[in-house]
Structure 1
Amino acid sequence: MANYTETVKNIARHSVISSAVEALTKNRTNSTLARRSYVRDVKQHILNKDNSFDSIVATKLSTSTIERWESFYDSITQSRKPENLKVAYLSGPNPENDLRVFCSLGLLPENIWAFESESSTYSEAVISALNSEFPFIKIINGGLDAFVEASPQRFDIIYLDFCGPLPSRGKKQKTLTALTRVLAKHSLNSPGVLITNFSLPTEAQDPVGRALLAKLVACYLYPKSFIESEDSENDFTEGPIAQSLDPNEWHQVVSENLDYYYGQFVTRLLIDHASLISPYNRFPQHNSLFSKFFDIRDIAPLKKSLESLFHFDKDDGGGDVIVDPDMYPLLWTLAALDKSLNNKDLNYPQFIFQDEEFSNYSDQFLAQLDIKGSKKELVDSLKLLSYLLSEGQEQSKYLSEQFKSMYDSHKIFDYHQFCDLVLFHQSIEALFRQVATPYHVNIEKTLRWSYKSKDTPMFMDMLVLDECRYLYDWMPTVDMFSKATKEIERQLAYRFALDAVAKHRRWYNPEYFFGTAVVDQFTDGFKAKTLSPRELIEGSD
């Protein structure tokens, strides 16, 4: 077992906890994807530009409406002091180590919950806590994932300090399952901070596990349009496909520098899970809410359309995921990992290492991403909603009557073009997200560290998650949407706020809010956000 008081661990612990508390207290209004002044700033930027057409439209957004949006933002974001924050974390045998840092920053021990599922370690933790200066802490003998299943409590900070890798092969420790349940149950307040800490086995510790992780990381990062780069002044570069690497060449690159790419994989999976995988996976397809959006009673043609995403037909139609993997990165990865998606023809770029051991490992990985532990349900939900929430491939046939009417009446020139045109998919995505309630990741405020615990590389991530209700709750609901968006002030306030949210997904998620820019992404004050490099913590233990 690692020594939880070693120097590098103490540095990492203090760095991440102090950053989390600061993000939710004195820097709270900078932790949302849209800062409080964003709508006002966009209008002023447009008025300052030498573009009379944009200025004429921007002047229609009155100061009173901007102030109303800012008041609405305040009502949602509110303010917090350290003593208002509620925390959940994994205990280990010495819960007082993390607890001392939290309390030194002003948190109350009464607002802190610790979780330990291993019974003997739990007994040690209780004794240690009772003998410390913090007897008011609550320690639960069980996993945090089991707790959130049973108790609808929400926390401001959730600190998942795992000892294992992402994902873990062990039957007892399912690191990814715990993360999936926390996200699915919306156990974090908004804005809230999710802290994770995963290990990467060394070659000496687990050569088989390391080899499997290299294959998984390669599969996951290959279709990404942009990845981080140590050789770029912007800290990121175009993805493997744009670099003309085939999947197996890319696997070789990853294997030779696994520590670096594993760190990227952890962050990108966390981003995807919070904003896409979890909300798509849990949306109630057999609920009346689903029928407000879609009518899929005619299932046969829909199945054919979903199949055509992954395979070419006899006339060389379809195959969108194969042809444009950078536009469908999650679906491409699903097909690379799931034999049921890629075994029907030879057109899909198969990895030569798709052996039985990796296939079983892939199945376990996908199952742990699903709230019910079902690989099939995960794959089906991601396929279906990825297709239905886009346009251009006869999706309109499966829209509800309300959305068909909206689709038929949608005209792009009814909306002023700033940077991008307003396409129909933006409306259905926004309304879907209004009720699905995803977390969005504040890319700019995401912080990451790496260090070694004894000989084991550790990767710690601090993500600020935001439900963006100042955007979604500003919108009307489905039946009121068309009329309300004709009110130019309400429309502009929404589009200006959406610009802020889209600036965080720009380099990372093409799957939603594609083409929603109002201000150019390279403009100071409105730039598309990029991840800061992972910071290496070195020590002398």
Structure 2
Amino acid sequence: MNAEYSEPQKIIARRQMIESAISTLTEGRTNATLCRRSYVREVRDRLVDRGGYDAEAGGQLTDETINRWEAFYDSVSQVRDAKSLKVAYLCGPNPENDLREFCAAGILPENIWAFESDVKVYTKAVISALSSEFPFVKIVKSGIDTFIDASPVRFYIIYLDFCGPLPSRNAKQKTLLAISRVLARHALNSPGALITNVSLPTESGDARGRALIAKLVACYLYPKDFIESEEGTTPEGPIAQGYDFSEWLNIVESELDEYYGQFITRLLMDHAGFISPYNRFPKQSSVFSNFFKKMTGDESKALVAAAFHFSESEEFGGGDVIVDAGEYPILWTFAALNKKINAQDCNYPQWVNLDPEFAKFADQFLSQLRTDGDKEALINNTCELTFSMLAEQNGGAFLAPNLAEMVNSHRFQDYYLFCDLVLSHQIVELLFRQVAIPYHVNVETTRRWRYQAKETPMFMDMTILDECRYIYDWMPTADMISAGFSNIERQLAYRFALDGVSKHRRWYNSEYFSGTAVIDQFTQPFEAKILRPRTNIE
């Protein structure tokens, strides 16, 4: 057996991960979705039990409509058992090690695809599999991301045991690009489990690589409104705590194992739900014009420049991304890592100094977030779509005529106020996401582990991803939205389901679905979800 697979900590982590993934996607399947099957009914019943005006408004949703929504949910989610789950993984020279664990948990070897791009390793893997008890496994001579580009096969579990860091400064080891392709091609069924296993360089093994990762991690987490604590709570982020960037970098460097683990999870969450769908939506398509006006090059440059504008004035600190970093943390990080934006001579006190080596590392990171490697398009697309959907700010100026008309005629007073107001940007976001099809991370069922592979810290994440079609496909399309929402029962079912989805993003993503709560975030079992602390395997 390969030494790296025989370490007891790795064996324990892999077994727990596989058992947890399969259990979540089978008997625990209704909880694998962000909005469980019973959620809409539970919200209605809680409002009715509460009495008063909330009961009167919520009580308009009848059992008949709830039954219809639950039947629709069943058609989307569907019951699964282990034998019906298709698995993809990176096999290495000894594919039977992972195979035994998958098959012991009930996966059929015929439903397992193994990938290996190195020709010599691939040959060893084929010989090893054929001489094992699993000759039915399919071993493909290809990287999994290359295969996904060529084939529409979808899986319920994708296990990316990279072993290297995320991201890697080795230009040939494109760990992040592989994840980007999985997300962009929607290679994972919904709900499904995306499993990653990455390392953190040690001081003795690669001190410079460790330092580069520390700076990237600090830059990524710095603008977040909330971070994680070891106790499993969500304290305010570095800016709210009063740290400038250099102070925060010192903290991250001194506790890099902890913050690197957070960075991996937050990057996966951000990429699945925000970065990938915003960069996959084709601007050249007529579908795009159903939602947005196509900007000219000058209009795009002006919008991006305004968002990232710096000012040394004490009264005006610059564009929205700079002034309200917590509202746009991903864009803040993109700007901080981009040489063109970062090079402005403004002496901004919270900005990131790009030395040449880190600038190269940052370029690799940004370029691997898009499958075509175009980091400028990454920043421009994300910025354009973000601000185009902020209808309350711009009066729908960047929207297609039909959506602009809806935005300008929208009155939040026309919607019953449960906890938050129904604002027009929420409707625009939902309509966009209905066709862009993002993945959403189920915070409650996601699991994480940390262990040592000899001297190297390893970080394994089992991220449960859900396309949430039980809400997006319940909605009318753009030109039918007003008529659809005039049906109070359909509107309430949608709002109650959205409450369940948005409770997973509360502490982690400020970029979308803000202000969509029906029941407050501290009421059980409707509370805002919090990630479980990473399990440390000694």
What is the distance in 2 between the residues matched to 1:128 and 1:263?
A: 34
Alignment of 1:253 with 2:260, yes or no, is no
Alignment of 1:11 with 2:12, yes or no, is yes
Contact (CA 8 Å) 1:191, 1:464: kept in 2 or not? Answer: yes
Secondary structure of the corresponding residue to residue 19 of structure 1? helix
Residue 316 of structure 1, CA deviation: 3.9
Secondary structure of the corresponding residue to residue 198 of structure 1? strand
What corresponds to 2:128 in structure 1? 128
Alignment of 1:49 with 2:58, yes or no, is no
- 1:26-83 deviation line (CA, Å, top 9, x unaligned): 1001100001000000000101114x21111111111000000000000110001111
What corresponds to 2:340 in structure 1? 340
Residue 382 of structure 1, CA deviation: 1.0
Residue 123 of structure 1, CA deviation: 1.1
Secondary structure of the corresponding residue to residue 429 of structure 1? helix
Residue 410 of structure 2 aligns with an amino acid whose one-letter code is H
Within 5 A, what are the aligned runs for 1:234-253?
234-253=232-251
What corresponds to 1:272 in structure 2? 270
- 1:90-146 deviation line (CA, Å, top 9, x unaligned): 001111011001111111101000001111111111111011000000001110000
Within 5 A, what are the aligned runs for 1:67-466?
67-230=67-230, 232=231, 234-297=232-295, 300-312=298-310, 316=316, 318-346=318-346, 348-349=348-349, 351=351, 353-394=353-394, 396-466=396-466
Residue 259 of structure 1 aligns with an amino acid whose one-letter code is D
What is the distance in 2 between the residues matched to 1:312 and 1:131?
A: 64
Secondary structure of the corresponding residue to residue 416 of structure 1? coil
Contact (CA 8 Å) 1:337, 1:363: kept in 2 or not? Answer: yes
- Give unpaired runs (5+ residues) of structure 1: none
What is the distance in 2 between the residues matched to 1:473 and 1:330?
A: 27
What is the distance in 2 between the residues matched to 1:163 and 1:63?
A: 51
Q: Quick one: structure 1 residues 145 and 298, their matched pair in 2 at CA, closer, same or farther if it must change by over 3 Å? A: closer
Residue 271 of structure 1 aligns with an amino acid whose one-letter code is M
What is the distance in 2 between the residues matched to 1:78 and 1:66?
A: 17
What is the distance in 2 between the residues matched to 1:279 and 1:251?
A: 30
Secondary structure of the corresponding residue to residue 129 of structure 2? helix
- Greater mean deviation of Cα atoms: 308-317 or 239-248: 308-317
What's the RMSD between the two structures over aligned residues? 1.5
Q: Quick one: structure 1 residues 199 and 395, their matched pair in 2 at CA, closer, same or farther if it must change by over 3 Å? A: farther
Q: Quick one: structure 1 residues 132 and 147, their matched pair in 2 at CA, closer, same or farther if it must change by over 3 Å? A: same
Residue 236 of structure 1, CA deviation: 2.2
Residue 49 of structure 1 aligns with an amino acid whose one-letter code is R
Residue 523 of structure 2 aligns with an amino acid whose one-letter code is T
What is the distance in 2 between the residues matched to 1:94 and 1:317?
A: 56
Residue 446 of structure 1 aligns with an amino acid whose one-letter code is T
What is the distance in 2 between the residues matched to 1:300 and 1:317?
A: 24
Q: Quick one: structure 1 residues 253 and 318, their matched pair in 2 at CA, closer, same or farther if it must change by over 3 Å? A: closer
- 1:483-532 deviation line (CA, Å, top 9, x unaligned): 11111000000000000000000000010000000000000100000000
How many residues get paired?
A: 535
Secondary structure of the corresponding residue to residue 206 of structure 1? helix
Residue 324 of structure 1, CA deviation: 1.0
The alignment-based identity, stated in percent, is 59
Secondary structure of the corresponding residue to residue 396 of structure 2? helix
Residue 150 of structure 1, CA deviation: 0.1
Q: Quick one: structure 1 residues 300 and 174, their matched pair in 2 at CA, closer, same or farther if it must change by over 3 Å? A: closer
Contact (CA 8 Å) 2:212, 2:361: kept in 1 or not? Answer: yes
What is the distance in 2 between the residues matched to 1:443 and 1:256?
A: 27
What corresponds to 1:532 in structure 2? 532
Secondary structure of the corresponding residue to residue 497 of structure 2? helix
What is the distance in 2 between the residues matched to 1:375 and 1:296?
A: 20
What is the distance in 2 between the residues matched to 1:505 and 1:490?
A: 23
What is the distance in 2 between the residues matched to 1:485 and 1:536?
A: 48
Contact (CA 8 Å) 2:89, 2:158: kept in 1 or not? Answer: yes
What is the distance in 2 between the residues matched to 1:301 and 1:4?
A: 54
Contact (CA 8 Å) 2:336, 2:352: kept in 1 or not? Answer: no
What is the distance in 2 between the residues matched to 1:262 and 1:472?
A: 33
Residue 37 of structure 2 aligns with an amino acid whose one-letter code is R
Alignment of 1:29 with 2:30, yes or no, is yes
Secondary structure of the corresponding residue to residue 198 of structure 2? strand
Residue 171 of structure 1, CA deviation: 2.7
Contact (CA 8 Å) 2:212, 2:358: kept in 1 or not? Answer: yes
Q: Quick one: structure 1 residues 229 and 23, their matched pair in 2 at CA, closer, same or farther if it must change by over 3 Å? A: same
Residue 193 of structure 1, CA deviation: 0.5
- Greater mean deviation of Cα atoms: 309-318 or 259-268: 309-318
- Give unpaired runs (5+ residues) of structure 2: none
What corresponds to 1:475 in structure 2? 475
Contact (CA 8 Å) 2:451, 2:536: kept in 1 or not? Answer: yes
Contact (CA 8 Å) 1:291, 1:400: kept in 2 or not? Answer: yes
- 1:208-245 deviation line (CA, Å, top 9, x unaligned): 10000000000000000110112x5x522110011100
Contact (CA 8 Å) 1:312, 1:347: kept in 2 or not? Answer: no
What is the distance in 2 between the residues matched to 1:308 and 1:53?
A: 43
Contact (CA 8 Å) 2:391, 2:407: kept in 1 or not? Answer: no
Contact (CA 8 Å) 1:440, 1:466: kept in 2 or not? Answer: yes
What is the distance in 2 between the residues matched to 1:450 and 1:363?
A: 28
Question: TM-score when scaled to structure 1?
Answer: 0.97
Residue 286 of structure 1 aligns with an amino acid whose one-letter code is Q
Q: Quick one: structure 1 residues 312 and 351, their matched pair in 2 at CA, closer, same or farther if it must change by over 3 Å? A: closer
Secondary structure of the corresponding residue to residue 3 of structure 1? helix
Secondary structure of the corresponding residue to residue 158 of structure 1? strand
What is the distance in 1 between the residues matched to 2:8 and 2:373?
A: 38
Contact (CA 8 Å) 1:85, 1:156: kept in 2 or not? Answer: yes
Q: Quick one: structure 1 residues 127 and 320, their matched pair in 2 at CA, closer, same or farther if it must change by over 3 Å? A: same
What is the distance in 2 between the residues matched to 1:337 and 1:253?
A: 19
What is the distance in 2 between the residues matched to 1:121 and 1:12?
A: 24
What is the distance in 1 between the residues matched to 2:392 and 2:428?
A: 14
Residue 347 of structure 1, CA deviation: 5.9
Residue 353 of structure 1, CA deviation: 3.8
Question: TM-score when scaled to structure 2?
Answer: 0.97
Contact (CA 8 Å) 1:2, 1:453: kept in 2 or not? Answer: no
What is the distance in 1 between the residues matched to 2:166 and 2:395?
A: 35
Alignment of 1:519 with 2:519, yes or no, is yes
Contact (CA 8 Å) 2:219, 2:352: kept in 1 or not? Answer: no
Residue 21 of structure 1 aligns with an amino acid whose one-letter code is I
Secondary structure of the corresponding residue to residue 373 of structure 2? coil
Q: Quick one: structure 1 residues 118 and 297, their matched pair in 2 at CA, closer, same or farther if it must change by over 3 Å? A: closer
